Structure 1
Amino acid sequence: MRLRNGMWLPIEGKRVEYAEDVYTITEQPSGRALSLLCPTKHVRSRGDTLNLPTVTIDIEAVFDGVLSVEVTHWSGAVSRGPHFELFPEGKPQGDASISVSDKGTTLTSGSVSATIHPDQHNFDIRFHATDGSKQLTSLLNRSVGFVYSPFPSSPVQLDDMRQFKTYIFTQTTLSVGETVHGLGERFGAFNKVGQSVILRNNDGGTSSEQAYKNVPFWLSSRNYGLYIDTPDEIELEVGSERLCRVQTSVKGQRLKWYLIYGTSPKEVLYKYTTLTGRAGRVPSWSFGLWLSTSFTTSYDEKTVNSFLEGMAARDISVEVFHYDCFWLKAFHWCDFLFDPDFFPDPKGMIARLTSSGLTKKVCVWTNPYLGQASPVFTMAAEKGYLLKRQNGDIWQTDLWQAGMGLVDFTNPEATRWFVSCMESLFDAGVSAIKTDFGERIPVDDVAWFDKTVDPSRMRNYYSFIYNKTVYEALQKRYGKSEAVLFARASTAGCQRFPLQWGGDCESTAEAMAESLRGGLSLGLCGFSFWSVDIGGFEGYPSPWIYKRWVAFGLLTSHSRLHGSNSYRVPWTIDNDDQGDHSCTKTLARWTALKARLMPYLYAQAAEAIAGGLPLSVRAMCLEFPEDPTSWYLDRQFMLGSRLLVAPVFEESGEVEFYLPRGNWTNFFTGEVRVGPGWRKETHNFDTLPLYVRENTVLVMGKEGERRTVYDYLEDVEVRLYHTTAGAKAELVDSEGNERGTLQIDEDNLVIGKELLCGNPKIQVISG
């Protein structure tokens, strides 16, 4: 939201009140907080205190390295829900202190402090490392306040607030060269400086400024993050109005955010996910290839069998088969009933499918809507399971499904009914759920079952309760670590319910790059697992696009073939070409490579969960924060902490990528390149720039492995890349249990070989 017309003029139609003084500073009884009373003009006499709005700024030490800042205009405004669930694993303790010196009043929370300038007329709040080593950001002159829209000509008009909207804002300073990242799955430029961003969940595809996953958290290249504690719509001007500030504004009378400091961006993410939660562990089978029916295609049991038999005949293992929308009867979405005309025996069909060995698991598509053509709609409406309008009508729309209603998850009975629908699917043999949609949640003329919630806050928050409901139902049936979603809509905290995929992208190289940028941004918001529609969702991918996307998609944490109105089995893309670089051969190679990487991937997944980090796609700045270039790289990523991946976006196979400082070994050829520096290479379809970081002990499955679930300690291949004493690799089994550590000693020998079984192969690749 713009507040100024350039540097000097106010914007037309709005009245902006800025906090000008810090009139009083009050220490709270807890000894962990300060309350600042801030008039909106300089108070130099008693008369100046009359007819004068104030803003209250409460700063609290939360835990080590974390401060909260809450700005309030009128404290009597009701604080309506819903509210994000914070500290799901418990709140850590931390030391706090308050001191006063000639530099001002300082509140310290472990490694981070806030200092308020001693001159009340100099509005200046500095956030800095406690040891004085780093200035983080500040709230300076005219950086905190509230806005009336439209402009009231007299304070008397504000007796009736129905005619006015109020917004609270803060403007934190941006330093020279500082970059800003995150804010959910954003498909535009990786560095958000210069962008206006609205955090409002929308179904807008990947080629727009809208996002399915809006997360009110951003990460700075100066080793701090800022989490805005509201699910409401948030408007940010990231160096786009005041070029040296990040402005955050929300509708209402209060705004609260947390400033999170760490010595590295990894530490910032760890503390952020301490606030909002970390990903649950996902089963090893979910890392294998998922094959979909695609969206509007026509299929039945015979079609499904032909797909899976064709994949098996071509030596391509499919771990999960996914039934998209049309397992349901047209116009009935989503009443959770298989269309009897195409699937008369769903339980038997799924049993036949999984017992055949053609796939391990079955996933089905769902959404939280209900078309009125289904008899289930009438039942749900009568029982109050659907969202209503303010006059008591069921809220309905013809967008997507004719006359559809929306499940009201603020109604406990509706939630229990929805869970019972999930359980009926589990009874039929379904093991995973695609929780699609949940973005276009109405905010006007609606009445939720829970009267305490603010409809405007439900638009983003709905994705949290929707995904949580389904994820916990899966956990209850299959076990805590066997639950896995394929979710599209998300917000803060949804990383607890893995996994998420990138939404509707076109079948182009540009859309592949858009998707990667979205995944990188989401990963910097604590989401450990991510996937993408291989080949693109919209359109008909050409063979070269499909093959380039296969290489990219099989090196993300989770890999799914899915499209809109065309199938994604490889032989339909290139007329079943039999050549060595056909779509089929390409898919088989990359699927097999991912299977071989599972001992590494599953161990890295555990580390990612523990640290609140993305497994893949991991932004380069998380591993190389001291390299300024890493904060701008959005066409490459890290797969875990040891492997660098640069997808190819050109039909010719040409690709340019950046290697940070150190020795990097080409995974395929063993050639060593030394960074830092940019490189250009040309690749066919069986390779891409996949480089192994120096000092890596890489544990892989044996040559020829095609499965995703196997014994990760038997007959493995252990590769040593420029290793020195102390280099190590954690070992886990396919259930995620820790089995020990392989470590390099002073003589460059591997300690812990006895943990391996069968005929392990250890080789020095470079060193």
Structure 2
Amino acid sequence: MKLSDGYWRVRQGFKAAWARQTITVDPIDNGLRARAAANLAYGDRSATLGGPMFTVTLSTPAEGVIRVVEEHYRGVPDRGPHFQLNVDPDASFEVFHDDHGTGLRAGCLEAVVSNPGEVFSLDFRSGGVNLTGTSYKGLGVYRDEAADYATASPRAHLDFDEGCGVRHNYMREQLRLAPDEKVYGFGERFGHFVKNGQSVEMWNSDAGTSSDAVYKSIPFYWTSKGYGVFVNHPEDVSFEVGSETVGKIQFSTRGERLEYYVIAGPEPKDMLRRYTALTGRAPYLPAWSYGLWLTTSFLTDYDDATVAGFVDGMRERDIPLSVFHYDCYWLRPYHWCDFEWDGDMFHDPSGTIAEHHRKGLKVCVWINPYLSSVSPLYDEAVAGGYLLKLADGSAFATDFWQPGMGLIDFTNPDAREWYCSKLGKLIDMGVDCFKTDFGESIPTNVVYDNGADPVAMHNYYTYLYNETVYRYLEQRQGKGQAVLFARSATVGGQQFPVHWGGDCESTYPAMSESLRGGLSLMSSGFGYWAHDIGGFEGDPGPDLYKRWVQFGLLSTHSRLHGSKTVRVPWAFDEESCDVLRTFTKLKLSLLPYLARGSRQVSEDGIPLMRPMALEFPHDPAVRYLDRQYMLGDDLLVAPVFSPDGCVEYYVPEGEWTNYLTGERIVGPAWVTGTFDYMSLPLMVRPGAVIPVQEGRVDTEGDLLDGVTLKVFAPEALGEEWTSVELRRGFEQDAAVVEFRMRRIGNALQAQASDTGLAWSIMVGDKQAHACQGAAELTW
């Protein structure tokens, strides 16, 4: 939210006061507390009459993280909700003094407050480097003098200098940006990947992928200078990223209190480790979730015969399928979402699901948190008090998606239990997972069972919605087996994967928008991501469909989905079947490699699909790249975004190898190439060891049975043994086999910790099979 008018003036209709002079700085039990006056009061007793006064409290929830709480009026009631954070109450810290002031040290990160009597400042340092900070006219409180008294929000409080009425107050902070500093994150954002110069609003909405509105707002960012910032507010935080004030990143929210966490690096992966340790990490996912998903599409006509035709058509064309998804119209018209199959279209759901299972498929069905008033369940929900209410006690109702629909109140434990009981009937029927759609268009004029602030609940609603469904699946199926396909999210939502990118158009620009959104989400603590292969709105045609298939099968999760047109490949042309078959089998062959990367997601919070700036933070050429990405540590993917098949992409230092063609390119270099539908830039990092299982046609079984370790640019290996750990499965407790490799001249030596395992090593087209746990290959 812009609160100024140029550099000097305050925005018309607002009045402002800023923390100007440090008054006191004192140690407290859990950290450090400072007070700063809005005027020059130190040593002038007459200037101490009245305020405003700001209280700044520093503490630490963990090593390398400092929590900052900035308050104008203290003691204001807090109705919640609150993000669920993993805070260590015994985290160690140290209060110290130096020439710059008094500081709090939390491991490698320091925060220093200016001395009493000096101009107020708060600086963050790590490793002797000043990362960022705030000073006079940074921390401030703003009063909206144009606010309507009668409609003032529950967060509005008394006029801060005259006490003469109710106003909308905002707290604002500005942190310095260096001239060459780049900013990343903020959740799923479809615009430019580098956020400098943008205004970013934390407000979830159902708005597609072609605007600045998003489904997944995450008030967390990190920068190329080696730190991150998490603003701990579920409500509508507003960021100005080097926009309102060019050399600052500004964030503001309504009320009298602002809380944020500064997170040390120095590397981007270090920031994500610390951020996800605080807000939660994605769990392990079952192997089947990484296979190909096929849906009925949204507005298409389908029944038992249509579904059977889709499933059998994939089998007849030798295209491995892992999950079949029923979108909205498995439900009866006007009855969304009461969990009852449309009996006119689906005569024996239990039998059909059993047949899917017999064919090796998992089954997913579409749900949402809304309930049509036409359904008999609506009366049951009203009687139980399970729906969001208006101030007069009546149920909130709208005709937005269904007639007179209400919304489940997930702050009510009884409502959650009731909702899960309906899901339980589907699980009993054989349903394996749920697509938790919607959760963004949540009203702010409602009353929650737990009394939470409805404005703050707008974004937070999705957390409770997805948590409820995920935890119930986990309870029924066991840890490591629960899977969602969710659209909306907020902080902590990464604990309930998978998330997909929402409703994109069937165009090349929309395909690139989707990738930008995914890379921003992967920069914000989320480990897994999918998108609608072929695009959602419109007909992609054969060309775009085949290009999107390449991209989709080289994403962490892969789903064919559309709106009014289907996404089975034979609906386009026979070559589409060939492309889908080739890239589906390619992904299946890479499951051992993906399993290695999945461990990084759950153990370290490092995404499986990651922007180049995250993987190569010291290469200035990658800082703006948003049309290519790394899949795990070693595979660089540059999708084709034009019908001429031409791609311009960048490879960092070293000799990179195209996994599909064998072409070698020495970096750093910009490369331009033209690719057919069976190829694209899929480049392997120098010295990488890629475990593959050629010929795999499903997601079942041991991931190391008959595995081949493909070694690329082995010249990058040294004579010392290099250790590579591979997992036998995707489960958290999957057994690990250690492989050791070294190069002596043109000979590659390898050993495995499991001497009974059948495996081989491969360099180029030369392959050697293991004997008694060892192999040697000369190339």
TM-score, normalisation: structure 2: 0.94
CA distance in 2, matches of 1:353, 1:625: 45
Contact preservation (8 Å) 1:524, 1:613 = no
CA distance in 2, matches of 1:19, 1:721: 57
Q: CA RMSD in A?
A: 1.8
Correspondence 1:187 to 2:187: no
Correspondence 1:586 to 2:579: yes
Correspondence 1:733 to 2:725: no
Contact preservation (8 Å) 1:696, 1:727 = no
CA distance in 1, matches of 2:89, 2:754: 35
CA distance in 2, matches of 1:627, 1:398: 52
Correspondence 1:248 to 2:240: no
2:703 counterpart letter in structure 1: Y
The alpha carbon displacement at 1:758 in A equals: 6.5
The alpha carbon displacement at 1:94 in A equals: 4.0
Contact preservation (8 Å) 1:739, 1:755 = no
Contact preservation (8 Å) 1:338, 1:346 = yes
Could you say if the C-alpha distance between residues 155 and 633 of structure 1 is closer, same or farther in structure 2, counting changes exceeding 3 Å? Answer: closer
CA distance in 1, matches of 2:252, 2:400: 30
Partner of 1:187, secondary structure, is coil
- Deviation track 1:56-82 (CA, whole Å, cap 9, x = no partner) reads 111113321110111101112112211
Match of 1:67 in 2: 66
Match of 1:360 in 2: 361
CA distance in 2, matches of 1:756, 1:633: 43
Match of 1:448 in 2: 448
Q: 1:623 aligns with which of 601, 615, 618?
A: 615
CA distance in 2, matches of 1:728, 1:499: 31
Partner of 2:366, secondary structure, is strand
Match of 1:304 in 2: 307
CA distance in 1, matches of 2:683, 2:474: 37
CA distance in 1, matches of 2:146, 2:461: 33
Match of 2:644 in 1: 652
2:438 counterpart letter in structure 1: F
Q: 2:218 aligns with which of 212, 215, 239?
A: 215
Match of 1:414 in 2: 415
- Deviation track 1:167-216 (CA, whole Å, cap 9, x = no partner) reads 11100010111011110100000011100011011001000101100011
Match of 2:772 in 1: none
Partner of 2:217, secondary structure, is coil
Contact preservation (8 Å) 2:595, 2:730 = no
1:731 counterpart letter in structure 2: L
Contact preservation (8 Å) 2:284, 2:730 = no
- Structure 1's unaligned 5+ residue stretches are none
Partner of 1:439, secondary structure, is coil
- Deviation track 1:586-622 (CA, whole Å, cap 9, x = no partner) reads 1000001001000111111112221111112x11112
CA distance in 2, matches of 1:730, 1:27: 47
The alpha carbon displacement at 1:319 in A equals: 0.4
1:145 counterpart letter in structure 2: G
2:401 counterpart letter in structure 1: W
The alpha carbon displacement at 1:391 in A equals: 1.1
CA distance in 2, matches of 1:638, 1:244: 31
Q: 1:642 aligns with which of 629, 634, 637?
A: 634
The alpha carbon displacement at 1:735 in A equals: 4.5
Q: 1:334 aligns with which of 332, 337, 354?
A: 337
Partner of 1:441, secondary structure, is coil
Match of 2:201 in 1: 198
Contact preservation (8 Å) 1:502, 1:530 = yes
Q: 1:676 aligns with which of 668, 671, 675?
A: 668
The alpha carbon displacement at 1:395 in A equals: 0.5
Contact preservation (8 Å) 1:488, 1:503 = yes
CA distance in 1, matches of 2:90, 2:534: 47
2:399 counterpart letter in structure 1: D
Contact preservation (8 Å) 2:397, 2:404 = yes
Q: How many percent identity over aligned positions?
A: 43
Match of 1:141 in 2: 136
CA distance in 1, matches of 2:411, 2:11: 39
Q: 1:690 aligns with which of 677, 682, 685?
A: 682
- Deviation track 1:476-500 (CA, whole Å, cap 9, x = no partner) reads 1111000000000000001011110
Mapping 1:593-612, distance limit 5 Å:
593-612=586-605
CA distance in 2, matches of 1:533, 1:275: 31
Match of 1:707 in 2: 698
Partner of 1:536, secondary structure, is coil
Contact preservation (8 Å) 1:742, 1:750 = no
2:431 counterpart letter in structure 1: V
Could you say if the C-alpha distance between residues 369 and 416 of structure 1 is closer, same or farther in structure 2, counting changes exceeding 3 Å? Answer: same
The alpha carbon displacement at 1:103 in A equals: 2.4
Match of 1:722 in 2: 713
Match of 1:476 in 2: 475
The alpha carbon displacement at 1:749 in A equals: 3.8
Match of 1:398 in 2: 399
Partner of 1:500, secondary structure, is coil
The alpha carbon displacement at 1:10 in A equals: 1.8
CA distance in 2, matches of 1:556, 1:735: 17
Match of 1:290 in 2: 293
2:647 counterpart letter in structure 1: V
The alpha carbon displacement at 1:259 in A equals: 0.2
Match of 2:24 in 1: 24
1:307 counterpart letter in structure 2: F
Match of 2:558 in 1: 559
Match of 1:386 in 2: 387
Match of 2:484 in 1: 485
Match of 1:113 in 2: 110
CA distance in 1, matches of 2:629, 2:90: 35
- Deviation track 1:428-456 (CA, whole Å, cap 9, x = no partner) reads 10001100000011012x111112x1011
Partner of 1:219, secondary structure, is strand
Number of equivalenced pairs: 748
Contact preservation (8 Å) 2:560, 2:568 = yes
CA distance in 2, matches of 1:81, 1:240: 30
Could you say if the C-alpha distance between residues 206 and 97 of structure 1 is closer, same or farther in structure 2, counting changes exceeding 3 Å? Answer: same
Could you say if the C-alpha distance between residues 41 and 156 of structure 1 is closer, same or farther in structure 2, counting changes exceeding 3 Å? Answer: closer
Match of 1:522 in 2: 521
Correspondence 1:467 to 2:466: yes
CA distance in 2, matches of 1:543, 1:156: 62
Could you say if the C-alpha distance between residues 710 and 240 of structure 1 is closer, same or farther in structure 2, counting changes exceeding 3 Å? Answer: same
Partner of 2:623, secondary structure, is helix
Q: Which moved more, 1:344-353 or 1:66-75?
A: 344-353
The alpha carbon displacement at 1:699 in A equals: 0.6
The alpha carbon displacement at 1:629 in A equals: 2.0
CA distance in 1, matches of 2:673, 2:89: 48
Could you say if the C-alpha distance between residues 546 and 155 of structure 1 is closer, same or farther in structure 2, counting changes exceeding 3 Å? Answer: closer
Could you say if the C-alpha distance between residues 713 and 36 of structure 1 is closer, same or farther in structure 2, counting changes exceeding 3 Å? Answer: same
Match of 1:39 in 2: 37
Could you say if the C-alpha distance between residues 56 and 151 of structure 1 is closer, same or farther in structure 2, counting changes exceeding 3 Å? Answer: farther
The alpha carbon displacement at 1:157 in A equals: 8.6
Match of 1:123 in 2: 120
Partner of 1:485, secondary structure, is coil
The alpha carbon displacement at 1:378 in A equals: 1.2
The alpha carbon displacement at 1:160 in A equals: 5.7
The alpha carbon displacement at 1:367 in A equals: 0.1
Contact preservation (8 Å) 2:51, 2:161 = no
The alpha carbon displacement at 1:671 in A equals: 2.0
Contact preservation (8 Å) 1:21, 1:42 = yes
Could you say if the C-alpha distance between residues 343 and 156 of structure 1 is closer, same or farther in structure 2, counting changes exceeding 3 Å? Answer: closer
CA distance in 2, matches of 1:481, 1:612: 16
Could you say if the C-alpha distance between residues 157 and 666 of structure 1 is closer, same or farther in structure 2, counting changes exceeding 3 Å? Answer: closer
- Deviation track 1:446-475 (CA, whole Å, cap 9, x = no partner) reads 111112x10111011001010000001111
CA distance in 1, matches of 2:471, 2:437: 16
CA distance in 1, matches of 2:475, 2:159: 56
1:509 counterpart letter in structure 2: Y
Could you say if the C-alpha distance between residues 309 and 80 of structure 1 is closer, same or farther in structure 2, counting changes exceeding 3 Å? Answer: same
Contact preservation (8 Å) 1:40, 1:52 = yes
Match of 1:150 in 2: 145
CA distance in 2, matches of 1:257, 1:743: 44
- Deviation track 1:698-745 (CA, whole Å, cap 9, x = no partner) reads 11002x322222321112221111231444432112343032221213
- Structure 2's unaligned 5+ residue stretches are 150-157, 766-778
The alpha carbon displacement at 1:746 in A equals: 5.4
